[in-house]
C-alpha cells in the first residue's frame, strides 16, 4: 500500500484499485455468473423511502460463488487471497486478517432499489471501528468489492459519506434514507475490473438505486481483522449452547448465560444485554 493509497484510505474511508482484473479474468467471472443466472433472484425486502425505492435487490440464492462447480468457482477463489488484496488488507486491518462472511453477490437491473446508509460507527463498535496508534491506522472490518460491470457516474451502486469514519456526530435520519443528506452521500463510480475497499462498520455507506441499462454485478468479500468478529458463521457459533456447550451453560441463570455468548459485532435483538437496576441487581435490559 503506497503513500497515496494510505492518504486516500485514511481521508475518505475507501480506496479503489483500477483494472485489477484483465479482460480474460473479467470474462471468466462474468461467464460463471451467467452460468448460475437462474439462481439470481430479487430479495423480498422492499425499501419504501422515496429516494431509494425500486424493485428488489438481486442476490444469488442458495449458493455462494465459492461453491460454484469447477471451473466457475475459480475466478472467485483467486479473488479471495489475491496479491492486490493481501498487500492492502495486511495494512488496513493487520496481518492475520480473515474472511468473516460472504462472498456476497449484489446485482441490480435498471430500477432496482437502493439500501439505506449504515455502518457509521454509531453506536461505536470497537471491533470494527477505525483508529490510529503509533503512526499506523487500523480498522476491524473491510469489505472488498470486485466490480464485474461498470458503475458509471450517476448510475448508482456503491455510495458513501466520504470521511464519515472520523465523524464525531451521529448520522442524521435524512442521510440514512437519502431524504435530506445535503450532498453528503456520493456515488463512487467504478469500471468493470476495479476493486473497492471500504470500511464496512466504520464508514457510512450503502447502495444507491441502479439506473443503468446494463446489469450491476458485484462480489463483496467481507473481511475482518484477526481480533474482530462481524457475523457470518459467528452468528451461528455465538449462542452459549454452541460456544461453551450445554453441559456448562444449561443450568445457568439468564444473566449468567448472557456473558457466555461468543463474539460478533452485528448482533440484533438476540443478544441479551446486561444492566444493573436501582437496587444494584444485575438484570437483562428490556
Ligand atoms: O455496494 C453496495 O451496494 C453497498 C453494500 C453495502 O451496503 C454493504 O455491504 O454493507
Determine the Cα–Cα distance for residues 226 and 277; give it in Å rounded to an integer: 35
| pLDDT score for 128 | 87
The tens digit of pLDDT for each residue in 149-186 reads: 999 999 999 999 999 999 988 888 899 999 999 899 99
pLDDT of residue 221: 98
42: left (phi over 0), alpha (psi -120 to 50) or beta: beta
Q: How far is the CA of 146 from the centre of ligand 1 (A)?
A: 12
Cα 113 to ligand 1 centroid, rounded to whole Å: 12
Please give the backbone phi and psi of residue 198, each rounded to the nearest 5 degrees, phi first: -140, 155
**What ranges in the chain are assigned the alpha helix state H?**
3-12, 23-35, 74-80, 83-92, 173-176, 233-237, 240-243, 246-249, 254-258
Whose Cα sits closest to atom 6 in ligand 1? 206
Atom of ligand 1 nearest to the CA of 114: 3
Distance 207 CA to ligand 1 centre (A): 5
pLDDT at 168: 87
90: helix, coil or strand? helix
List the helix and strand counts (H, then E) for the chain.
9, 14
Q: What is the pLDDT of residue 141?
A: 94
**How far is residue 228's CA from residue 112's CA, in Å, rounded to a whole number?**
32
Please answer whether residues 213 and 154 qualify as being in contact, where contact means their C-beta atoms are separated by less than 8 angstroms.
Answer: no
| Low-confidence stretches of the chain (pLDDT beneath 70) | none
The pLDDT score that the predictor gives to residue 262 is 95
Q: How far is the CA of 9 from the centre of ligand 1 (A)?
A: 17
The pLDDT of residue 267: 86
The number of CA neighbours under 13 Å toward the Cβ of 259 is 8
Cα of 158 from ligand 1 centre, angstroms: 6
Task: Give residue limits of the domains in the chain.
Answer: 3-224, 233-284
pLDDT in tens, 7-45: 999 999 999 999 999 999 999 999 999 999 999 999 998
Residues in contact with ligand 1 by the CB-under-6-Å rule are: 106, 115, 119, 143, 145, 157-158, 200, 205-207, 218, 220
Q: Whose CA is nearest to atom 8 of ligand 1?
A: 206
Q: What is the pLDDT of residue 120?
A: 78
pTM of the model: 0.94
In the CATH hierarchy, which fold is given to the domain comprising 3-224?
Jelly Rolls (2.60.120)
Amino acid at each position: 500500500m503506497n503513500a497515496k493509497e494510505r492518504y486516500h484510505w485514511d481521508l475518505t474511508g475507501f480506496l479503489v484499485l483500477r483494472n485489477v482484473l484483465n479482460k480474460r479474468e473479467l470474462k471468466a467471472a462474468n461467464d460463471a455468473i451467467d452460468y448460475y443466472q437462474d439462481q439470481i433472484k430479487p430479495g423480498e425486502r422492499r425499501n419504501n423511502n422515496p429516494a431509494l425505492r425500486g424493485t428488489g435487490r438481486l442476490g444469488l440464492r442458495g449458493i455462494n460463488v465459492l461453491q460454484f462447480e469447477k471451473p466457475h468457482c475459480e475466478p472467485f477463489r483467486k479473488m479471495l487471497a489475491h496479491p492486490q488484496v493481501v498487500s492492502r488488507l495486511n495494512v488496513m486491518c493487520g496481518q492475520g486478517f480473515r474472511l468473516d462472511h460472504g462472498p456476497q453477490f449484489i446485482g441490480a437491473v435498471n430500477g432496482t432499489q437502493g439500501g439505506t446508509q449504515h455502518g457509521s460507527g454509531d453506536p461505536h463498535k470497537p471491533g470494527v471501528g477505525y483508529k490510529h496508534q503509533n503512526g499506523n491506522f487500523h480498522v476491524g472490518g473491510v469489505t472488498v468489492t470486485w466490480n464485474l460491470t461498470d458503475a458509471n457516474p450517476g448510475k448508482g451502486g456503491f455510495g458513501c459519506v466520504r470521511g464519515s469514519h472520523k465523524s464525531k456526530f451521529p448520522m442524521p435520519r435524512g442521510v440514512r434514507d437519502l431524504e435530506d443528506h445535503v450532498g453528503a452521500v456520493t456515488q463512487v463510480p467504478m469500471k468493470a475490473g476495479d476493486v473497492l475497499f471500504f470500511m464496512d462498520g466504520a464508514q457510512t455507506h450503502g447502495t444507491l438505486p441502479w439506473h443503468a441499462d446494463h446489469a450491476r454485478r458485484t462480489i463483496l468479500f467481507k473481511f475482518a481483522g484477526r481480533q474482530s468478529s462481524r457475523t457470518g458463521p459467528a452468528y451461528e457459533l455465538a449462542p452459549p449452547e454452541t460456544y461453551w456447550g450445554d453441559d456448562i451453560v444449561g443450568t445457568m441463570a439468564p444473566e449468567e448465560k448472557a456473558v457466555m455468548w461468543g463474539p460478533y459485532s452485528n448482533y440484533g435483538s438476540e443478544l441479551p444485554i446486561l444492566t444493573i437496576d436501582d437496587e444494584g441487581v444485575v438484570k437483562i435490559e428490556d
